[in-house]
Amino acid sequence: MKRSSLFAASLACLMLASTPSFAAKLSAGAKKVSATELKKIYSGKSVFWSKTVGYFKPDGSFYARKKNNSLFVIGKWRVSKGKMCRSGKWYNLKTGKKGSFSNNCMLWMKDGGKLWTVDAGDKGNGSDWSNKETSKLKAGDSVSKKLLKMKKTYDAKF
Hey, CA dihedral for 150, 153, 157, 158, is it positive or negative?
positive
Better-scored residue on pLDDT, 8 or 134: 134
Q: Where are the alpha helices (DSSP H) in 1-157?
A: 3-18, 35-42, 144-157
Q: How far apart are CA 41 and CA 134, in angstroms?
A: 7
CB 134 within 8 A of CB 110: no
- Is 11 inside a domain boundary? no
- Which domain range does residue 80 map to? 27-157
Read off the pLDDT of residues 70-124 as tens digits, 9 standing for 90 and up: 999 999 999 998 999 999 999 999 999 999 999 899 999 999 889 999 888 755 5
Read off the pLDDT of residues 8-38 as tens digits, 9 standing for 90 and up: 332 233 222 223 333 336 888 999 999 999 9
- Is 1 inside a domain boundary? no
The SS3 of residue 149 is: helix
- Is 65 inside a domain boundary? yes
Q: What is the pLDDT of residue 51?
A: 96
> What is the domain count for the chain?
1
- Is 7 inside a domain boundary? no
Q: How far apart are CA 50 and CA 36, in angstroms?
A: 27
Q: How confident is the model at residue 144 (pLDDT cuts 50, 70, 90)?
A: very high
